[in-house]
Structure 1
Amino acid sequence: MTSAVQVLIFPIMDVADLREFYGSRLGQASRRIIAHRLRDRFGNLAGATVLGLGFTVPYLDSPVDGAERSLAFMMAQRGVMHWPEGEPNAAALVEECELPLLESIVDFALVVHGLELTDQPAEMLRELWRVMSPQGRLVMVVPNRRGLWARSDLTPFGYGQPYSRSQLQQILKEAKFSPVGWSQALFMPPSERSLMLKSAAAWERLGLRTSPAFSGVIIVEAVKQVYAVSARKRSRRMLPRLRPALAGPNAAKRPSK
């Protein structure tokens, strides 16, 4: 009951907050840990079309080498930032349930700070199914409802709706995805204390051995079920509904006119 009330009173976690978190010592430590666990999930992306949905830029900078194209879609209520830094922009502000893409063109999709922050998780997953190619792979990093990180608002993983493994299995099944791999990360307490940050690797080793069910996040890899037929046959616009805000690092904080 307490966690449900907290979800209602928390302010919106926008792109400026997310960027600030990943610039902090705790954010950098959590990024390293999650990126290490994701490395095995990316595999060979040579020639692939890669989509990041939510706030994935801390995890897309290095593993997408060799991909034909990489896109970073950020959810409309959260704001957007230019990405990659110093290169032509490949980021856009979108409605997560109305992606500006043709059907079956995404080979690999990564969702971080996405599923738990959307008001329509089932619809978002169905939309991802639509744009993914046959046997396309989806990897999601989702707060674990049994972990400490979902109970603390010191990090973005304490916002929105956390999930258990069984809940993720069910919602993926309903969206016509088949889970093919699971892993866990973030066993250290969500603390900025130097001792905690220095011992992060030890916490990970201990947690994986003794209490994997209590990780801070669950990482799930799923494959699109190619035999399923989408019931959604309406026409779609091929441009983002909201114009991306691309000017400068503080663009996400600027009020809309």
Structure 2
Amino acid sequence: MRRDILDLRAFYASELGRMARAMVGRKLTETWGDAAGLDVLGLGYPTPYLGAFRPRARRVVAAMPAQQGVEIWPGVGGGLTTLAHEDALPFQNALFDRILVIHALEESPDPTALLREVWRVMAPSGRVIVAVAARDGLWANAESTPFGHGRPYSRRQLAQLIREAEFEPLGYTRALYAPPVSWLSGQAETFEQAGSRLWPRFSGVVLIEAIKQTYAIKARPQRVKSRVARPVMAPIPATRDPARRNPSP
């Protein structure tokens, strides 16, 4: 059973929730930039993270599962959220350039069907980021947070699920190394820097970026010039088909 919308809102209004939003949100903007001129969809409970894209994206909307409930967002101007059945999203095919899936898979009764709907509404050249609670992290056991409910995933489990939904994983990254306790929120940056180097496996959240597999996409996606010296998301090697090329972010 999904967490209620009121619980999710309360968490992100707390000091711990604000820290989680900052750490995870940074990974999203590092990967997608400001999404200038793009159509962006958030699925699950994405509103804490979508605000960064609103100034320059062409369209930003959020879809929230019916079992969870929906909130009015952004609160001024017109509403940009909709209540949806996760296996029947109210959007036309191939509409969105970027899709964020967060607080969605862990409590879904059918994660593959959810991701297949994401596949349907995503443009052929689009990208999806799926963020889930990491199986080996402390946050998966923190029941006072949204990351402590439902099924957590290892990176390999998540990559396998994404491939089953006909996406091709491009790369992964991690976030939330600070313990899920409010009094350590002020030290989150220190934990983030140290954790990514010393104990990368024990992050609270794992994020994978993927592209849509279609008959039109056969070759490796073109490499996009990056402003950093190393990729934001480490590449994920293909595991099931030895003949498949190893995609790069």
- Give TM class, smaller chain: 0.7 to 0.9
- Rounded Cα–Cα distance in structure 2 between residues aligned with 1:160 and 1:75: 15
- The Cα offsets for residues 40-85 of structure 1, whole Å up to 9 and x where unpaired, read as 1223522211100001110001223222211110111000011111
Aligned-partner residue type, residue 206 of structure 1? A
The alignment of Structure 1 onto Structure 2 pairs a total of residues equal to 217
Aligned to 1:54: 44
2:64 and 2:70 in contact (8 A); partners too:
yes
Give the aligned partner of residue 210 of structure 1.
198
Q: Which of the residues 109, 125, 146 maps onto 2:115? A: 125
Equivalent position SS for 1:19: helix
Q: Does 1:17 align with 2:7?
A: yes
1:183 matched to which residue of 2? Answer: 173
Q: Is 2:187 aligned against 1:199?
A: yes
Which residue does the alignment assign to 1:219? 207
Q: Within 5 Å, give how 1:83-102 maps onto structure 2.
A: 83-102=73-92
* 1:37-76 mapped onto 2 (5 Å cutoff): 37-43=27-33, 45-76=35-66
Aligned to 2:160: 170
Q: What TM-score, normalized to structure 2?
A: 0.84
Q: How far apart, CA to CA, are the structure 2 residues paired with 1:84 and 1:213?
A: 35
Counterparts of 2:55 and 2:214, CA distance in 1: 27
Q: What is the aligned partner in structure 2 of residue 140 from structure 1?
A: 130
Give the C-alpha shift of residue 226 in structure 1.
Answer: 2.2
SS of equivalent residue, structure 1 residue 61:
helix
Gaps of 5+ in 1: 1-10, 230-257
CA distance in 1, matches of 2:196, 2:114: 30
Deviation above 4 Å: which 4+ runs of structure 1? none
Summarize the Cα distance change of 1:228–1:16 in structure 2 as closer, same or farther, 3 Å threshold: farther
State which of 150, 159, 173 in structure 1 corresponds to 2:140: 150
Unaligned runs of 5+ in 2: 218-249
TM-score scaled by structure 1? 0.81
Letter in 1 for 2:66: A
Bigger RCO of structures 1 and 2 (CA < 8 A, at least 6 apart): 1
Percent identity over paired residues: 44
Whether the 8 Å CA contact 1:176–1:228 is kept in 2: the answer is: no
| Superposed displacement of residue 38, structure 1 | 1.4
CA contact (8 A) 1:52 1:72 kept: yes
